């Protein structure tokens, strides 16, 4: 991978750390702001809504801007929003600043994906996307625990100052390493991004993303009580067990990008199918610790392994390296998180049966797989366009930065 893509990954690491670092600090935040822990949860929820809704809006408003200053500018606004969060004394201000930070994350990921795909050969597009998202996924394994340690030692605000410092380092790296005109040739043609949204296949693909990814979060949102209540581990062991999930998500993200460079359709089909099987296995074997240790790795690998190929697929459907389409894809993943969490909560309200979460999650992911396969079948590209295993490649799609093979 070209070094500039590593600068994008470093910034994604900072932004990804900001999303989930409050989860382990909610008791401290609630005590400092004088609100119940359940209400303090808006610190996380507002960020997700900002990424889901604000991200595409930011992408739409900035489509024509040069991309290097754009990603640096988005990171700068993100840094300021985190500083406001650290200094704020009320939940309202914290929630608003977190929503702004989330919107910057959504806009950044959409732009970073298009820059990264323009820096590599056509047969390395998905791997480039995977490298960008590796920064985001590694933040869950390294950045969030470090932020929680700092927050508990020096106050929750300190965690956000750490995130701001990481964002500043990422912005400096992008300023030094990104080409002056980073895929700007596509920015001028990206006006058609609004027109491409009339493509029904795109919206079906976004639905497939939300359902497929959401199935994982039906379970993962409630993984701590699942492990203590069903598997029977101690609460103190949960953090260490989740490191296995982190190992899986890093490996899955990398392998998903590598195999998607060969065939997006086959990779998505295998990964979603494996996620369905893993969730059903968790339902059947969730009380057996050795099985759960393996399944945590598989759940992380299959859940996050779908990100590069699905991002790559929507760019292929769009026919261009569209910032707006990439941002909408990122929003779809966030929608999956929200949908899975909500569905899982509804299941627990009705049954209080944690193993049932795995069955419901497997069903949701299976629906996502079916939507994906039907979408590809009904809207497959013309014979002249790239196909898995085929030698034909259109010069237009290579120039636009879409996957060279589907």
Cβ distance 152 to 10 under 8 Å? Answer: no
What is the mean pLDDT of the segment spanning 367-393?
A: 65
What is the mean pLDDT of the segment spanning 212-216?
A: 92
Question: Looking at the domain 192-406, which fold is it?
Answer: Growth Hormone; Chain: A; (1.20.1250)
What is the mean pLDDT of the segment spanning 247-251?
A: 85
Residue 24 has pLDDT above 80, yes or no: no
CA atoms within 13 A on the CB side of 212: 32
Domains in the chain: boundaries: 1-182, 192-406
Rounded to the nearest 10 degrees, what angle do helices 67-87 and 3-20 cross at? Answer: 30
- The pLDDT value recorded for residue 213 is 92
What is the mean pLDDT of the segment spanning 372-378?
A: 87
Among 67-71, 83-87, 150-154, 372-376, the range scoring the smallest mean pLDDT is 150-154
- The pLDDT value recorded for residue 185 is 45
How many other CB atoms are found less than 10 A from the CB of residue 373?
15
Q: What are the pLDDT digits (tens) for 50-78?
A: 888 888 888 888 877 888 899 999 999 99
Tell me the C-alpha distance between 247 and 299, whole Å: 10
- The pLDDT value recorded for residue 48 is 79
Task: Give the mean pLDDT of the chain.
Answer: 81
Cβ distance 340 to 216 under 8 Å? Answer: yes
- The pLDDT value recorded for residue 392 is 38
Tell me the C-alpha distance between 296 and 31, whole Å: 33
- The pLDDT value recorded for residue 274 is 95
Three-class SS of residue 306? coil
The whole-model pTM stands at 0.75
Three-class SS of residue 89? coil
Q: What are the pLDDT digits (tens) for 283-329?
A: 999 899 999 999 999 998 998 888 888 888 887 787 766 777 877 88
- The pLDDT value recorded for residue 1 is 64
At 175, is the pLDDT very low, low, confident or very high (cuts 50, 70, 90)? Answer: very high
Among 96-110, 134-148, 196-210, the range scoring the smallest mean pLDDT is 134-148
Torsion angle defined by CA atoms of residues 113, 115, 121 and 123, in that order, rounded to the nearest 10 degrees: 10
Please measure the distance between the N-terminal and C-terminal CA atoms of the chain and give it in whole angstroms: 21
More confident position, 290 or 250: 290
Cβ distance 191 to 306 under 8 Å? Answer: no
Residue 49 has pLDDT above 70, yes or no: yes
1-182 shares its CATH topology with 192-406: yes
Residue 397 has pLDDT above 80, yes or no: no
At 38, is the pLDDT very low, low, confident or very high (cuts 50, 70, 90)? Answer: low
- The pLDDT value recorded for residue 23 is 66
Residue 372 has pLDDT above 60, yes or no: yes
Select 1-182's CATH number: 3.40.190.10, 1.20.1250.20, 3.40.50.920, 1.10.760.10. Answer: 1.20.1250.20
At 356, is the pLDDT very low, low, confident or very high (cuts 50, 70, 90)? Answer: very high
Beta strands (DSSP E) in 255-372 are none
The proportion of the chain whose per-residue pLDDT surpasses 90, expressed as a percent, equals 25
Spell out a b/e string for 23-56, using b for 16 or more CB atoms within 10 Å of the CB, else e: ebbbebbbeebebeeeebbbbbbbbbbbbbbbbb
Handedness of CA 112, 115, 117, 121 (dihedral sign): negative
């Amino acid at each position: 991978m070209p070094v500039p893509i590593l600068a994008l990954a470093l910034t994604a690491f900072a932004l990804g750390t900001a999303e989930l670092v409050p989860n382990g600090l909610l008791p401290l935040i609630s005590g400092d702001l004088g609100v119940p822990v359940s209400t303090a949860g808006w610190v996380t929820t507002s960020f997700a809504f900002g990424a889901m809704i604000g991200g595409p809006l930011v992408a739409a408003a900035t489509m024509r801007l040069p991309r290097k200053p754009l990603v640096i500018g988005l990171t700068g606004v993100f840094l300021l929003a985190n500083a406001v969060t650290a200094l704020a004394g009320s939940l309202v201000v914290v929630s608003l600043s977190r929503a702004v930070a989330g919107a910057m994350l959504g806009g950044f990921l959409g732009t970073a994906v298009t820059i990264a795909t323009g820096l590599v050969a056509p047969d390395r597009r998905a791997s480039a996307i995977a490298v960008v998202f590796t920064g985001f996924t590694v933040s869950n394994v390294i950045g969030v625990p470090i932020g929680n340690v700092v927050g508990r030692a020096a106050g929750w605000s300190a965690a956000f100052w750490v995130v701001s410092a990481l964002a500043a380092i990422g912005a400096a790296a992008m300023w030094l390493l990104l080409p002056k005109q980073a895929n700007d040739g596509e920015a001028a043609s990206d006006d058609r991004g609004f027109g491409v949204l009339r493509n029904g296949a795109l919206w079906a693909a976004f639905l497939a993303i939300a359902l497929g990814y959401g199935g994982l979060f039906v379970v993962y949102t409630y993984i701590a009580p699942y492990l203590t209540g069903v598997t029977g581990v101690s609460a103190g062991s949960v953090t260490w067990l989740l490191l296995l999930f982190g190992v899986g998500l890093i490996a899955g993200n990398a392998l998903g990008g590598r195999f998607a460079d060969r065939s997006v359709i086959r990779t998505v089909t295998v990964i979603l199918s494996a996620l369905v099987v893993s969730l059903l296995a968790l339902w059947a074997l969730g009380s057996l610790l050795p099985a759960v240790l393996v399944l945590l790795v598989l759940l992380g690998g299959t859940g996050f392994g779908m990100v590069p190929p699905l991002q790559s697929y929507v760019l292929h459907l769009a026919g261009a390296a569209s910032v707006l389409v990439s941002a909408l894809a990122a929003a779809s993943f966030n929608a999956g998180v929200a949908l899975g969490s909500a569905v899982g909560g509804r299941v627990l309200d009705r049954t209080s049966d944690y193993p049932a979460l795995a069955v419901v999650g497997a069903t949701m992911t299976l629906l996502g797989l079916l939507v994906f396969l039907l979408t590809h079948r009904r809207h497959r590209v013309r014979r002249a366009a790239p196909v898995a295993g085929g030698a034909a490649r259109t010069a237009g799609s290579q120039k636009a930065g879409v996957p060279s093979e589907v």
